[in-house]
């Protein structure tokens, strides 16, 4: 094998090594991007759930306050609480089906 052929083979090997390295770097980059997107989506979902829990808690506290101020409507308040719990269950099911 002459020097010219040997140099050509070495260049082709270097090109192939570089091509593989570049491919691996691209795969790593894409994987990291997907992980970051998944992380952001999970954080957003957790934030929304926390906001929903806080809103439901505020509503329950308001219902309890009304119930204490107006004892004669306790049954109505109880029914509102049941309706709120039912809404939460249905809303949660809808929320999970979207993800």
Which residues, in sequence order, are CB contacts of 88 under 8 Å at separation 6+? Answer: 56
pTM above 0.75, yes or no: no
Tens-place pLDDT, residues 11-57 = 999 999 999 999 999 999 999 999 999 999 999 999 999 998 888 88
- Return the ∠ at Cα 60 (arms to 56 and 64), rounded to 5°: 170
* Position 98 pLDDT exceeds 60: no
Tens of pLDDT, residue by residue over 63-85, are 777 777 766 666 676 777 777 77
- Number of alpha carbons in the 13 Å side-chain half-sphere of residue 48: 11
């Amino acid at each position: 094998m002459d020097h010219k052929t040997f140099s050509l083979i070495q260049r082709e090997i270097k090109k192939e090594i570089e091509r593989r390295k570049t491919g691996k770097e691209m795969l790593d980059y894409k994987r990291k991007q997907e992980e970051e997107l998944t992380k952001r989506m999970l954080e957003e979902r957790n934030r929304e759930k926390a906001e929903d829990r806080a809103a439901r808690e505020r509503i329950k506290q308001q219902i309890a306050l009304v119930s204490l101020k107006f004892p004669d409507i306790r049954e109505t308040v109880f029914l509102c609480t049941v309706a709120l719990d039912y809404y939460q269950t249905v809303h949660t099911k809808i929320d999970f089906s979207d993800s």
